[in-house]
A and B are shown apart, each in its own frame.
Chain A
Amino acid sequence: MPAEGEITSLLFQMKQGDRHAESRLAALVYTDLRRVARRLMSRERPDHTLEPTALVNEAYLRLLAQYDRDWNNRVHFFSVAAQVMRRILVDHARSRSAEKRRANLAKVDLEHACLPVNDRSDEILALDQVLDRLAALDARQSRIVELRFFAGLTEDEIAALLGVSPRTVKREWSFAKAWLKRELRSREAQSTESPA
């Protein structure tokens, strides 16, 4: 558990442009998210689906809310949390796909060879790359995707966070979804055409 006020001061440093502070904050959020997730999973039925929103909100409450009422901080915090979530998913997908490659190359022991049936690591990795491209074209839109997809925030919450109308968020989100999907499909088509 970080020291009281540490998050606030990290957020402050972050707003001053300190990248180290951002990294440190990300590490704290990451640690906390895992802790929360573990607790939730152990308390709930095995088939329970964790809502990222619940996780991020809880992390926010635990890490920040009691010390800080600065709205601006909340925006930053959720951006960081969304990025952390993205990182978690991507890293996970990457390790899964490495495992799959290994499993394909050689018969590994059963324990490691058992991959989950709902494994969608390749899609997540593809999404990650496409999202990078989107960020280059439209930073706000990619931010909305991150908040929506990785932090699970609602359109209204995002609107409030970014200080834009819910309608704008809705419009951007809808466009981004279509654009991402189109990009993903064309990637897929390309990879089936040229297996190399």
Chain B
Amino acid sequence: MSGEQWERIKEIYARASDLPDAERRALLERECTGEPDLLAEIQELLANAEGPSLLVDSSRILGEVLAGDYPAPPPPSTEPWKAGEMLGPYQILAPIGKGGMGEVYRALDLRMDRQVAIKRVPERLSGRFVREVRAIAALNHPNICIVHDVGPNYLVMEYVDGAPLRGPIPEANAIELARQIAAGLETAHAKGIIHRDLKPANILRTTGGVKLCDFGIATLIRPVASDSLEKPALAAGVSFPDSMPGDVTATLITSESGTALGETIGTPAYMSPEQAAGQAVDGRSDIFSFGSVLYEVLTGRRAFQADTARDTMIAVQREDPEPFEASPEVVRIVNRCLRKNASERFQTAAELREALEKAAAAVSRKAPCVAVLPFVMAGADPENEYFSDGLTEDIINALSSVAGLKVIARTSTFAFKHQARDIREIADTLGANHVMEGSVRRAGDRIRITTRLIAARDGTQLWANRYDRDLRDIFLVQDEISHAIATELRVSLTTQRLVKPPTEHFAAYEEILRGRHYFYRFDPEDQARALASFEKAAAIDPEYAAAHIGIALYHWGQMIVGMENPRESMRICVAKAREALRFDPGSSEAHHVIGACLAINDFEWAESEQYLKRALQLNPNSFDAMHCYTHYCLGPLARWEDALRVQEQALSLDPLSPHMNCIHSIILDGLGRHETEVEVLEHVNRLDPGFVAGQWLLVSLRVRQQRIAEALELAEAAIRRGGRWAMTLGTLGIAHAAAGHQDLANDVIQELGSAPGAESRAFWASLIAAAMGDSGEAFRWAAQSIENRDSLMPIILRSSSFAALRSDPRYAGLLRLLRMEK
């Protein structure tokens, strides 16, 4: 409509409205000749001039809205409280500060004779507020500031002697503080309480950790937010005050009271996008705020900060914070918290806390962590490599017992054998910050060891030495080297011997080195040679603990691949481990072997756990003890959270081991974290495409994902690569069963009876039957496999492979067989 036309309508309307009907008609006919639209418009307007108007009720609504829903009692006095003044049982001591919601005082609770903090709010608290504060008061967590009491216009809280969190804080410390914050959020969220105003000012740092304050309180004083700040122009230029810096606005927003009126709760710089948009929030909003806090704690600057509160809120909704420097794990966590879309963030504080714990482990890896690369055997023929390899392993073991030092496991460092790779690259792959390398030369009874320690950061040499000794002094040299490294890395200044001569017979030691060398090669002939060497060592020196351990590990290995009857294997394992303990009571290996057998063979879960924990005490870097703990004890008991923690530690020491990663994937499956499980299994496949257990687990996963063709392809490739034995056949059988090839699957079960590894037939047959959906056969074989003491059964019984059978009463029967009934 043109302005001219509008004015004309107005003019005619004004003239017509004062006229009686007849005259009005005449006027309109005259003015609107030939313009039927104009006539209709004016007539319509005139028709609307009379009658009830919406406008009548406006003042009533306004009054209600402005005064809030509750009849407000007179506001309490706003005079500051004075020291000595009594407030119920509380004696005011001194003002401590002024928060967004009012003044804070330090006071004394005379009844309990303890100091408290009293936060005074600028208005009388409603009944609803008091009820909700009771819910908050029920929160009991070391990282949450306790609410003791609530008065007519004040809150009584735990007195926390601390200062608001302020960045930058070194990463390792920051992660620990962040973990505590997440733990506090986890507890509150579990009770349905959302903080809604998480920010550094609300997080007090004390000597004992952090305390989250003002949990959910902002909301109670200001319930519900409604309008979006996206459309500030809507209310004719009236919007949130632009000119104030972010925090001042928050004070304004949270300092007055009443019902909701398009007010946005929180502090702009730490709000979540949904909060800034005035939408409903849940725990994931706190997770966003947490991300902003962690960003600030790490960098010392705010993630979102603009000149005005409104621009800050817009930044929160639309912009990404500037990139910052931190460990990749930590950057990932912060970025995930700060996703604009709540469904892309961590969904729970528990998940966040777990990620932080994992990151903490990763970061702590950066502080003294050494990777000992296989020493090079110089000059001699490759046949003698067993000697340098064995020596390297002994140094790894010696360093492993040094508290505070992380030592990468043998399997992972030996992956770099004979590889001309850059030291820094190797260290990065292994997550180590120091690398040790060396060479060994033997001539008659003499030995020369040259070794050096390199800082991975810049490749500089920190320490180097050459040892020319008599062969008999081999253990002394190991001890000297280990001490030198520990001292160089400032983790230990102990004068205790790190390497005690385990035998006085050099020949026995040499057999042990040889035996281990063969043991780590997996083909059957090498295994037989390994056993021969261990037995020879035991014959030379019957008191040599390592010889007995070697024999035990040989039988354990045979059992795992289905070559020996498990009951018989474990009987020998336990006997040999106990023998070893006679001569070396501090043998971590003997403890973990016994612990594993107590679980798998005897179903003595509690006792098993004691042994495995002891093994870890004796060698905090023993990845073997760790994986036995997860694989044979925690996993079977479905204690997945505990298992994950231990397994992640094991992985940090042995990141390149496909075996460790496979167990990790089983644990992730148990936790229902299937996305990560997929990643891990795909990673295993890249690490070692020939690792059969990895193939099996990947096939099971593809079956669950209904990617049957892929599963079949993988299973057939595993057969082509690894030949027809229990694990490859079992894998093939599962794929056939899932594909509906019932005959082929049954053929596999048949073949398993005579193929290598036949001892584990029942285990594989139960998995195949389960994949076929034949629950009767699945249970029958599973019970058989438990009867046989198959080492894989207890943990796999808890995995997704048996998910469909879990509600069957026969499943509970299996748990009873395993002595797991409640």
Once A21-B243, A42-B74, A98-B226 are accepted as A-B contacts, the answer to whether A50 and B45 lie under 8 Å apart by CB is: no
CB-nearest residue of chain A to B6: A137
Contact of A55 among B47, B66, B72, B238 (CB under 8 A): B66
Contact of B62 among A50, A111, A179 (CB under 8 A): A50
Once A86-B235, A95-B261 are accepted as A-B contacts, the answer to whether A34 and B66 lie under 8 Å apart by CB is: yes
Cβ-defined contact, B71 with A135, below 8 A: no
Cβ-defined contact, A91 with B241, below 8 A: no
Cβ-defined contact, A33 with B66, below 8 A: yes
Cβ-defined contact, A171 with B57, below 8 A: no
State the CA gap A131–B786 with chains docked (Å): 78
State the CA gap A26–B310 with chains docked (Å): 15
A-B contact count (CB 8 A): 183
B-side interface residues, number (CB < 8 Å): 57
Cβ-defined contact, B224 with A95, below 8 A: yes
Q: How distant is B216 from chain A, measured CB to nearest CB, in Å?
A: 16
User: Which residues of B are found within 8 Å of A35, using beta-carbon distances?
Assistant: 256
Q: Does B252 contact A (CB under 8 A)?
A: yes
Q: How distant is B751 from chain A, measured CB to nearest CB, in Å?
A: 57
State the CA gap A90–B262 with chains docked (Å): 9
Once A34-B66, A137-B1, A175-B13 are accepted as A-B contacts, the answer to whether A150 and B261 lie under 8 Å apart by CB is: no
User: Which residues of A are found within 8 Å of B63, using beta-carbon distances?
Assistant: 37, 40-41, 48-51
Q: Does A161 contact B (CB under 8 A)?
A: no
User: Which residues of B are found within 8 Å of A128, using beta-carbon distances?
Assistant: 234
State the CA gap A137–B45 with chains docked (Å): 16
Q: How distant is A145 from chain B, measured CB to nearest CB, in Å?
A: 9
Cβ-defined contact, B66 with A38, below 8 A: yes
Cβ-defined contact, A178 with B45, below 8 A: yes
Once A37-B67, A91-B262 are accepted as A-B contacts, the answer to whether A20 and B308 lie under 8 Å apart by CB is: yes
The residues in B between 59 and 85 inclusive whose CB is less than 8 angstroms from any CB of A are: 59-68, 71-75
Q: Does B161 contact A (CB under 8 A)?
A: no
User: Which residues of A are found within 8 Å of B48, using beta-carbon distances?
Assistant: 177-179, 181-182, 185
State the CA gap A182–B46 with chains docked (Å): 9
State the CA gap A87–B261 with chains docked (Å): 9
Cβ-defined contact, B243 with A23, below 8 A: yes
Once A120-B54, A175-B13, A178-B45 are accepted as A-B contacts, the answer to whether A88 and B261 lie under 8 Å apart by CB is: yes
Cβ-defined contact, A23 with B256, below 8 A: no
Cβ-defined contact, B252 with A31, below 8 A: yes
State the CA gap A123–B58 with chains docked (Å): 11
CB-nearest residue of chain B to A46: B71
Once A91-B261, A137-B1, A177-B49 are accepted as A-B contacts, the answer to whether A23 and B239 lie under 8 Å apart by CB is: yes
User: Which residues of B are found within 8 Å of A152, using beta-carbon distances?
Assistant: 58-59
State the CA gap A27–B1 with chains docked (Å): 36
Cβ-defined contact, A94 with B262, below 8 A: yes
Cβ-defined contact, B238 with A38, below 8 A: no
User: Which residues of B are found within 8 Å of A85, using beta-carbon distances?
Assistant: 62
Q: Does A157 contact B (CB under 8 A)?
A: no
Contact of B128 among A20, A48, A111, A185 (CB under 8 A): A111
Q: Does A174 contact B (CB under 8 A)?
A: yes
Q: Does B237 contact A (CB under 8 A)?
A: yes
Cβ-defined contact, A89 with B58, below 8 A: yes
Cβ-defined contact, A95 with B262, below 8 A: yes
Interface string of B207-230 (1 = CB under 8 A from A): 000000000000000001111000
Q: Does B244 contact A (CB under 8 A)?
A: yes
Q: Does B14 contact A (CB under 8 A)?
A: yes
The residues in A between 13 and 44 inclusive whose CB is less than 8 angstroms from any CB of B are: 19-24, 26-27, 31, 33-42
Once A38-B66, A89-B62 are accepted as A-B contacts, the answer to whether A31 and B241 lie under 8 Å apart by CB is: no
Most buried by B among A34, A80, A91, A150: A91
Most buried by A among B17, B66, B128, B234: B66
Q: How distant is B221 from chain A, measured CB to nearest CB, in Å?
A: 13
User: Which residues of A are found within 8 Å of B128, using beta-carbon distances?
Assistant: 111
Contact of A120 among B61, B224, B256, B308 (CB under 8 A): B61
User: Which residues of B are found within 8 Å of A184, using beta-carbon distances?
Assistant: 54
The residues in B between 1 and 51 inclusive whose CB is less than 8 angstroms from any CB of A are: 1, 6, 10, 13-14, 17, 44-49, 51
Cβ-defined contact, B226 with A138, below 8 A: no
Interface string of B588-619 (1 = CB under 8 A from A): 00000000000000000000000000000000
User: Which residues of B are found within 8 Å of A4, using beta-carbon distances?
Assistant: none
Cβ-defined contact, B258 with A34, below 8 A: yes
Q: Does B705 contact A (CB under 8 A)?
A: no
User: Which residues of B are found within 8 Å of A33, using beta-carbon distances?
Assistant: 66
State the CA gap A135–B62 with chains docked (Å): 22
Once A38-B67, A89-B62, A185-B48 are accepted as A-B contacts, the answer to whether A95 and B252 lie under 8 Å apart by CB is: no
CB-nearest residue of chain B to A150: B58
Cβ-defined contact, B243 with A175, below 8 A: no
Q: How distant is B359 from chain A, measured CB to nearest CB, in Å?
A: 38
Q: Does A116 contact B (CB under 8 A)?
A: yes
The residues in A between 48 and 93 inclusive whose CB is less than 8 angstroms from any CB of B are: 48-52, 55, 80, 83-92
Contact of A94 among B61, B227, B242 (CB under 8 A): B227
Cβ-defined contact, A92 with B68, below 8 A: no
User: Which residues of A are found within 8 Å of B44, using beta-carbon distances?
Assistant: 182
Q: Does A12 contact B (CB under 8 A)?
A: no
Once A24-B244, A85-B62, A124-B61 are accepted as A-B contacts, the answer to whether A19 and B237 lie under 8 Å apart by CB is: yes
Once A42-B73, A175-B45, A182-B45 are accepted as A-B contacts, the answer to whether A51 and B59 lie under 8 Å apart by CB is: yes
Cβ-defined contact, A83 with B238, below 8 A: yes
User: Which residues of B are found within 8 Å of A86, using beta-carbon distances?
Assistant: 235-236, 238
Q: Does B55 contact A (CB under 8 A)?
A: yes
Q: Does B240 contact A (CB under 8 A)?
A: yes
User: Which residues of B are found within 8 Å of A155, using beta-carbon distances?
Assistant: none
User: Which residues of A are found within 8 Å of B262, using beta-carbon distances?
Assistant: 87, 90-92, 94-95
Q: How distant is B623 from chain A, measured CB to nearest CB, in Å?
A: 51
Q: Does A132 contact B (CB under 8 A)?
A: yes
State the CA gap A73–B438 with chains docked (Å): 86
State the CA gap A185–B47 with chains docked (Å): 11
Q: Does B260 contact A (CB under 8 A)?
A: yes
Cβ-defined contact, A34 with B256, below 8 A: yes
State the CA gap A79–B14 with chains docked (Å): 25
Once A21-B243, A27-B240, A83-B236 are accepted as A-B contacts, the answer to whether A118 and B61 lie under 8 Å apart by CB is: yes
State the CA gap A23–B235 with chains docked (Å): 11
State the CA gap A149–B237 with chains docked (Å): 17
Cβ-defined contact, B57 with A118, below 8 A: yes
Q: How distant is A57 from chain B, measured CB to nearest CB, in Å?
A: 13
State the CA gap A57–B790 with chains docked (Å): 87
Q: Does B495 contact A (CB under 8 A)?
A: no
Cβ-defined contact, B59 with A89, below 8 A: no
State the CA gap A137–B73 with chains docked (Å): 45
Cβ-defined contact, B226 with A94, below 8 A: yes
Cβ-defined contact, B66 with A177, below 8 A: no
Q: How distant is A123 from chain B, measured CB to nearest CB, in Å?
A: 5
CB-nearest residue of chain B to A10: B243
Once A51-B59, A124-B61, A127-B54 are accepted as A-B contacts, the answer to whether A88 and B243 lie under 8 Å apart by CB is: no
User: Which residues of A are found within 8 Å of B45, using beta-carbon distances?
Assistant: 175, 178-179, 182
State the CA gap A184–B55 with chains docked (Å): 12
Cβ-defined contact, B235 with A90, below 8 A: yes
Once A38-B75, A41-B72, A178-B13 are accepted as A-B contacts, the answer to whether A20 and B243 lie under 8 Å apart by CB is: yes
Cβ-defined contact, A26 with B49, below 8 A: no
Q: Does B53 contact A (CB under 8 A)?
A: yes
Contact of A178 among B49, B241, B259, B261 (CB under 8 A): B49
Ranked nearest first, the 7 interchain pairs of A and B with the lowest CB-CB distance are: A50-B63, A91-B262, A37-B66, A20-B243, A95-B226, A41-B67, A87-B235
- A-B pairs with beta carbons under 8 Å apart, 24 shown: A20-B308, A23-B240, A26-B238, A34-B256, A37-B66, A38-B68, A41-B66, A86-B235, A86-B236, A89-B58, A89-B65, A90-B235, A95-B224, A95-B227, A118-B57, A118-B60, A120-B61, A124-B61, A132-B236, A137-B6, A152-B58, A175-B45, A178-B13, A182-B45
